[in-house]
């Protein structure tokens, strides 16, 4: 059973309901599948898998349309991720008769539900909690602001350091006099990745020590973010420096701000 927990809520009601429905469908498929094959469940399983395909398609269309309406900067990225998921779902078609491939199907369903969880926590969460674009554009972006204080000193200091590195990257991006910024940017992004990892470890250690109940959700969010940093395609950055980098900084900062405001501030 894969539970849809509160940390999956992104704050847009219709999308939250659709995510919950996707979880329900996958759980139902897994229940029907059970531990071993039962002949009388065959038709039901075929039906629920079709439902999963149709509903996913419906939901992604809906989500992308919503993002378009609010002019969300991550639309293209989300479209790519959704395509990846759809491709995985389409592997279902290759399973001609799952009587023979019970395990393949089970693996696939597990993959889908894990992917979905990560995607909601790592990407969809940005859709609802993000500030309205007009307000976001006015905000001094790469600066630590008073409302980010969590009241835990080392956490606040580490957050400040994260903002410092992000600000450094931004300086290089905005500097028109450096022709090839690539090396410097790669170095700074590496520094950012390492420091982020270090900070998440510290934070998780602290939460473990005080027996914080939100530790699980925090870990998932942290993992999703680290994953995103690891997936960065530096080749792509080299080809199309300015635009890719500006989008990247937008993403990193808004993720960090959201995470601090909605998750880290609750720790204390
Ligand atoms: Fe999504
Ligand atoms: Fe943090
Ligand atoms: Fe955190």
CATH of domain 6-130: 1.20.120.50
Tokens 């022709």, residue located: 179
Q: Which residues of the chain have pLDDT under 70?
A: 1, 37, 96, 129-140, 236-240
Rounded Cα–Cα distance for residues 131 and 73 (Å): 12
Rg (CA), the chain: 21
The answer to pTM > 0.85 is: no
Which ligand neighbours the alpha carbon of 85 most closely? 1
Q: Comparing C-alpha atoms, which of 115, 119, 79, 151 is closest to residue 221?
A: 119
Distance 207 CA to ligand 3 centre (A): 10
229-233: long-range pairs with CB below 8 Å, 24+? 229/189, 229/192, 229/193, 229/196, 230/193, 232/189
Which ligand neighbours the alpha carbon of 8 most closely? 1
In CATH, 136-266 is 3.90.650.10? no
Whole-number Å distance, alpha carbon 130 to ligand 2 midpoint, is 17
Kindly give the distance from the C-alpha atom of residue 221 to the centroid of ligand 1, in angstroms, as a whole number.
Answer: 15
What residue ranges do the domains of the chain occupy?
6-130, 136-266
Cα-to-centroid distance, 74 and ligand 3 (Å): 21
CA–CA dist 51, 55 (Å, integer)? 6
pLDDT of residue 140: 64
């Amino acid at each position: 059973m894969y539970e849809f927990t509160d940390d999956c809520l992104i704050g847009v009601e219709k999308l939250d309901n659709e995510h919950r429905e996707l979880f329900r469908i996958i759980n139902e498929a897994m229940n029907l599948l059970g531990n071993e094959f039962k002949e009388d469940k065959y038709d039901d399983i075929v039906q629920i898998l079709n439902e999963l395909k149709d509903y996913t398609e419906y939901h992604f269309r809906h989500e992308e349309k919503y993002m378009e309406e609010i002019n969300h900067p991550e639309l293209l990225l989300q479209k790519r991720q959704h395509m990846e998921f759809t491709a995985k779902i389409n592997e279902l078609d290759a399973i001609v008769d799952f009587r023979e491939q019970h395990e393949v199907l089970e693996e696939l369903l597990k993959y889908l539900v894990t992917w979905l969880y990560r995607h909601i926590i790592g990407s969809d969460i940005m859709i609802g909690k993000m500030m309205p674009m007009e307000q976001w554009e006015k905000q001094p972006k790469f600066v630590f602001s008073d409302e980010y204080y969590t009241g835990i000193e080392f956490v606040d200091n580490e957050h400040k350091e994260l903002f410092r590195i992000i600000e450094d990257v931004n300086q290089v991006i905005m500097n028109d006099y450096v022709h090839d910024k690539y090396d410097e940017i790669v170095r700074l992004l590496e520094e950012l990745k390492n420091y982020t990892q270090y900070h998440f470890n510290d934070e998780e250690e602290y939460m473990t020590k005080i027996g914080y109940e939100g530790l699980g959700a925090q870990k998932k969010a942290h993992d999703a973010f680290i994953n995103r940093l690891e997936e960065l395609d530096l080749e792509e950055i080299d080809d199309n420096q300015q635009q890719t980098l500006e989008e990247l900084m937008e993403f990193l900062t808004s993720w960090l701000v959201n995470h601090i405001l909605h998750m880290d501030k609750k720790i204390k």
